[in-house]
Amino acid sequence: MQRDNTYFLIFHTIHDVLRVEKILKKQGFTFELVPVPRNLSSDCGSCIKLNDNIEDVKPYIQNIEIDKCVLFDGVNYKEASGRPWK
């Protein structure tokens, strides 16, 4: 995986964002809570900016319904086709 690869995990509610935050914190993943990038969603809330590999994270959070999972390679945003889980 490239160093500057980042995932934006967008959920329906702040409740779900915080559920994910709690889990990622417990598991020691590298992430940040950031405002949802305007080009990804018109939502006015927060999302998870993940600096770890999505495949490592997935097993811990796949029972939480996700809205969008977007890969940012430093230049372009690429949305995972379909819903990555649930």
Partner 1 sequence: MIYLDNAATSFPKPEETIEYVNTFIRSIGGNPGRSGHTLSIEAARTIFEAREKLTQFINGKDSERLIFTQNGTESLNLAILGLLQEKDHVITTSLEHNSVMRPLMFLKNEKGIEISVIHCTREGKLDIKQIKRSVKKNTKALVINHGSNVIGTTQPLGEIRQVINDIILIVDACQTIGAYPIDIEKDGIDILCFSCHKSLYGMQGLGAMYIRDGIELKPLKFGGTGSKSESIEHPDFLPDKYECGTPNTPGIASLLGGLAFIEKTGQKNIMQRKNELRTLIVQELSKFDNVILYGNHTGNTNVPVISLNIKNKLPSEVGYELNKKEIYVRVGLHCSPMAHKTIGTFPEGTVRISPGYFTKNEDICRFLEVMREIAKG
Provide the binding-site residues for partner 1, judged by CB under 8 A.
Answer: 12-19, 22, 33-36, 41-46, 65
**Beta carbon of residue 41, minimum distance to partner 1 (angstroms, whole number):** 7
**Beta carbon of residue 82, minimum distance to partner 1 (angstroms, whole number):** 19
Q: Which is nearer to partner 1, 63 or 76 (CB)?
A: 63
Burial of 73 (0-12, 13-18, 19+ CB in 10 A): exposed
Secondary-structure percent of the chain, ordered helix, strand, coil, rounded to 5: 25, 30, 45
Contact 46, 31 (CB under 8 A): no
**Beta carbon of residue 2, minimum distance to partner 1 (angstroms, whole number):** 27
